[in-house]
Amino acid sequence: MPFKTLAKSMALAATLLAALTAHIAPAAAQVKEHTFKVGIGLSDDHPQAQAVRHFAERLQAKSSGKMNAKLFASGALGNDVSMTSALRGGTLEMTIPDSSTLMSLIKPFGVLNLPLTFNNEAEADAVLDGPFGQKLLAMLPDKGLIGLGFWENGFRHVTNSRRPINTADDLAGLKLRVIQSPLFLDTFNALGTNATPMPFTELYTAMEQKAVDGQENPPATILASKFYEVQKHLVLSRHMYSAWVLLISKKTWDGLSADEKKIVQEAAREATVFERKTIRAFSETALGELKKAGMQITELPAAEQAKLRTKLQPVLAKYSKEFGEETTNELMGELAKARGGK
């Protein structure tokens, strides 16, 4: 190659490299080293934990390894209430509480836990990913929190160590652990149980020591937490749908650049899709695994499910008002759309 041609080629390459560097450098400079601590109450092998690890992988991939998330499972950093408080104070970066944990801060979040509201997961996805769910997330910054999306916990069912549940009245007299929320307390007291609020992190030991007769959670949590070791009976009550909220501390969020925020949001969206797919696959096999582990599983006939709804009408009426009738009506409107209504 003649010297002049070589020189021109080298000059062109240098110009292109300089232009490329000028384009990339500002963006690269906006992504710094970050490791977010993510605290959860569930075990390390639960689908929620798997999704946190997926979130970490996506963060690293999108930031050339500069951003990461470190999982602390099994309540190592506290329970949902204390970890959410730590996010607000800026001493913990991320957690994924049940949406019911947030109703003490923002009442409208409570409508998501109204008993016997959702019929299936598709309805929940439509409501949570649509305008209604986004409106709820938009209320979080004023409380020192940023919501990155809704993850699925699933439909909740009752377990106990005393007797099989074949009718709505069979629940009466059981001492059941419930989430630390007035709605959960009132729901299960209305069903005739002795509802006992307790952090999830204390639940296994309480059941093992017979301090409570049972609890209520989705199948994935019952299996991953090995509740079959201390519980004999499971009734598929489907009394409530439960969602988690992927949260990051607003103090942490405000310290991120625009590019870093975009990376976190994109990784969160991908992790949300992964989490729902993973937990639904896990839940499909969970009931079979629980049977193998020795649990006796019963289903409530339609007539008994209707009795549950009748018993819970006063609770629905009370909390529809407490969480805001406008919010409740908006939720029901979104559900009607999801069900094909106008």
pLDDT tens figures, 33-52: 999 999 999 999 999 999 99
Question: Band of the pLDDT at 30, cuts 50, 70, 90?
Answer: confident
Note the pLDDT of residue 18: 46
Separation between Cα atoms, residue 222 and residue 246, nearest integer Å: 21
Rg (alpha carbons) of the chain, rounded to whole number: 24
Q: Is the pLDDT of residue 24 over 50?
A: no
Q: Which of 6-20, 199-213, 328-342 has the lowest mean pLDDT?
A: 6-20
Confidence of residue 341 (pLDDT cuts 50, 70, 90): low
Sorted by where each begins, the domain ranges of the chain are: 33-338
Confidence of residue 4 (pLDDT cuts 50, 70, 90): very low
- Tell me what pLDDT residue 231 has: 98
**Whether pLDDT at 22 is above 90:** no
**% the chain with pLDDT above 90:** 90
| Distance linking the first and last C-alpha atoms of the chain | 73
pLDDT tens-digit profile of 188-220?
A: 999 999 999 999 999 999 999 999 999 999 999
Residue 9 pLDDT > 90: no
Closest CA to 253 of 118, 106, 93, 35: 93
Say what the pLDDT of residue 7 is. Answer: 45
Q: 12-21, 213-222, 235-244, 330-339 — which is least confidently predicted?
A: 12-21
**Cα–Cα distance between 269 and 279 in angstroms, integer?**
16
- In this predicted structure, what is the pLDDT of residue 12? 52
- Please report the pLDDT score of residue 6 as a whole number: 40
Point out the least confidently predicted range of 29-33, 48-52, 280-284: 29-33
Q: Given pLDDT bands bounded at 50, 70 and 90, which one contains residue 238?
A: very high
Pick from 135, 127, 100: which is nearest to 331 by CA?
Answer: 127
Other CB atoms within a 10 A radius of the CB of residue 264 amount to 26
Whether pLDDT at 25 is above 70:
no
- pTM beyond 0.85: the answer is yes
Q: In the CATH hierarchy, which fold is given to the domain comprising 33-338?
A: D-Maltodextrin-Binding Protein; domain 2 (3.40.190)
CB under 8 A, 24+ apart: contacts of 33-36 = 33/66, 33/67, 34/66, 34/67, 34/68, 34/256, 34/260, 35/67, 35/68, 35/69, 35/70, 36/67, 36/68, 36/69, 36/70, 36/93, 36/94, 36/248, 36/252
Q: What is the mean pLDDT of residues 105-114?
A: 96
